[in-house]
A and B are shown apart, each in its own frame.
Chain A
């Protein structure tokens, strides 16, 4: 069946460090892939999405590239800020109503 894997449960960085969060997926369809961000006390909100048509999503300094060869959709940011501290979820949408979420990566950015 379809699945999403986020192995990094927690990442701790200092301000201005480079961020890389790993996400891999498995599906037999042509999916749309999302990154959601959840700040404390709030529900998740869309950070960026990528379809097979455009391959790359960029938002608020974050970017993710859809790599069909390695079935990956890693999230990157060149220079993180303390305000980026949050939980980040990778998600897979195969157009079957159900969206499959990864387990989430808790990012702590130290000042």
Chain B
């Protein structure tokens, strides 16, 4: 078995601030994902990475940067936090490109912008 760790668990920021969220997995999975979860809107893909140093934009990439310097880690940066923004950011991983493979999710980082 393995685990996905997301830090921090809670993140409180100020409007305009640059904020970084981190994700680590010990599954040795190739592909990693960042999703944003808002109430009533499901999971929306921000960035994904199919291997170390690869980055692919999802549908919601504007306002975010990502980095995959190691196979086991994937970080997400909110480039300028928006006032009153509240969301949960979920990191996930899965092996390779097989469409039979489930995604494994971390517990999430809960962002609040004051």
Number of A-B contacts (CB under 8 A): 57
| Residues from chain A with Cβ under 8 Å of B2 in the complex | none
Q: Are A45 and B105 in contact (CB under 8 A)?
A: yes
Q: Are A44 and B99 in contact (CB under 8 A)?
A: no
Majority secondary structure, A binding face: loop
Q: How far is the CA of A9 from the CA of B43 in the complex (A)?
A: 14
Nearest residue in A to B108 (C-beta to C-beta)? A43
Q: Shortest Cβ distance from A56 into chain B, in angstroms?
A: 15
Q: Shortest Cβ distance from A64 into chain B, in angstroms?
A: 14
| Residues from chain A with Cβ under 8 Å of B42 in the complex | 6, 89, 101-104
Nearest residue in B to A99 (C-beta to C-beta)? B103
Q: Are A32 and B100 in contact (CB under 8 A)?
A: yes
Number of interface residues of A (CB under 8 A): 25
Question: Does A60 count as interface, using CB distance less than 8 angstroms?
Answer: no
Interface 9-residue window, one of A12-20, A67-75, A90-98: A90-98
Q: Are B105 and A97 in contact (CB under 8 A)?
A: no
Q: How far is the CA of A51 from the CA of B48 in the complex (A)?
A: 23
B residues with a Cβ closer than 8 A to A are: 4, 31, 33, 35, 40-45, 48, 50, 56, 58, 90, 92, 97-100, 102-108
Other CB < 8 Å A-B pairs besides A51-B100, A103-B41, 14 of them?
Answer: A32-B99, A32-B100, A41-B107, A43-B4, A46-B103, A49-B100, A89-B42, A93-B99, A97-B56, A97-B97, A98-B48, A101-B35, A104-B42, A104-B43
